[in-house]
Amino acid sequence: MADNPDRTQTPIIFAPKTYQYDKSTLKEADLLPDPIDQFTKWFEEAKKDPRETLPEAITFASAELPSGRVSSRILLFKELDHRGFTIYSNWMTSRKAEDIKSNPHGAINFFWKDLQRQVRVEGLTEHVNRETSERYFHTRPRGSKIGAWASPQSKELKDRAELDELAKKNAERFVNVEDIPCPDYWGGLRIVPLEIEFWQGRPNRLHDRFVYRRASEHDPWKIVRLAP
């Protein structure tokens, strides 16, 4: 009988110190009727907390079809309106671009360690209009603009020198251009939420979890409490 590979390896057990979530509570009576307003309230509190050094950091998850293979990455959330949450990226060569082409669903997750809070967002994605993408692109540092032109994001490179050469060529390309244009393949992606969950850590893993749900963006929100 072949050995079970799980039995032939010594497990490595990581046992960090016990961490209790004990800073706050969340009751349904505390929630605002609109989840975008509720998110804005929590996000402002995270921005004011000096120990939350990067409150706009998110995990963005996407999945390729038909394989169902999931990929995720850390990005920075940039804009919010009542339609949803917007991120910016390369939508020609990146892995997430390939995923979104085959499957428009996406999910993002915020985690604010000091406040002991998470916000999970699931929904459908849509590209923002060109005017919005260009407006944001023009606020970026010059080096970041050149980087957007230089990097064939997620494609294989021979070595670091190849990337540096691409950056050099594009820096030379735009040397006399004051306002570097936004590439056609670069822009914003909005996650239009169908579900937004607010998670407040509580002791003994008995966390408070409330989720706003709707079947489509035209339906009213329903708030339910979830078991932790």
Per-residue pLDDT of 22-78, as tens digits, reads 999 999 999 999 999 999 999 999 999 999 999 999 999 999 999 999 999 999 999
Look at residue 164 and tell me whether its pLDDT is greater than 60: yes
User: Is residue 173 a contact partner of residue 191, using CB atoms and an 8 Å limit?
Assistant: no
Q: How high is the mean pLDDT of the chain?
A: 93
Residue with tokens 């020609």: 92
Q: What is the 3-state secondary structure (H, E, C) of 35-55?
A: HHHHHHHHHHHHHHCCCCCCC
Residue with tokens 């990929």: 71
Distance CA 35, CA 80 (A): 12
What CATH number corresponds to the domain at position 48?
A: 2.30.110.10
Domain holding 205, by residue range, is: 21-137+185-225
On whether residue 216 sits in a domain, the answer given is yes
The dihedral sign for the CA sequence 95, 96, 102, 107:
positive
Compute the chain's Rg from CA coordinates: 21
On whether residue 164 sits in a domain, the answer given is no
Residues 6+ apart with CB under 8 A from 87: 58, 60, 75, 76, 77, 78, 108, 188, 189, 191
pLDDT, residue 8, reads 59
| pLDDT tens string 64-81 | 999 999 999 999 999 999
Token pair, residue 14, equals 């990581």
202 is catalytic: no
On whether residue 149 sits in a domain, the answer given is no
User: Is residue 192 a contact partner of residue 124, using CB atoms and an 8 Å limit?
Assistant: yes
Average pLDDT over residues 192-213: 97
On whether residue 91 sits in a domain, the answer given is yes
Counting the structural domains of the chain, the total is: 1
Average pLDDT over residues 5-12: 64
pLDDT, residue 12, reads 76
pLDDT, residue 110, reads 98
pLDDT, residue 1, reads 46
User: Is residue 108 a contact partner of residue 59, using CB atoms and an 8 Å limit?
Assistant: yes
Beta bridge partners of 2: none
Strands (E), 82-221: 84-90, 105-112, 117-127, 186-200, 208-213
pLDDT band with cut points at 50, 70 and 90 for residue 3: low
Length of the chain (residues): 228
pLDDT band with cut points at 50, 70 and 90 for residue 19: confident
Residues 6+ apart with CB under 8 A from 47: 55
CA-to-CA separations, 226 to 92, 106, 183, 204, 206, in angstroms, rounded: 38, 21, 43, 16, 11
Helix axes 160-173, 142-150, angle to 10 degrees: 120
On whether residue 171 sits in a domain, the answer given is no
| Marked catalytic residue, from 7, 51, 160, 205 | 205
On whether residue 197 sits in a domain, the answer given is yes
Average pLDDT over residues 207-227: 97
Distance CA 208, CA 115 (A): 13
Look at residue 5 and tell me whether its pLDDT is greater than 80: no
On whether residue 89 sits in a domain, the answer given is yes
DSSP 8-state secondary structure symbol assigned to residue 97:
H
On whether residue 166 sits in a domain, the answer given is no
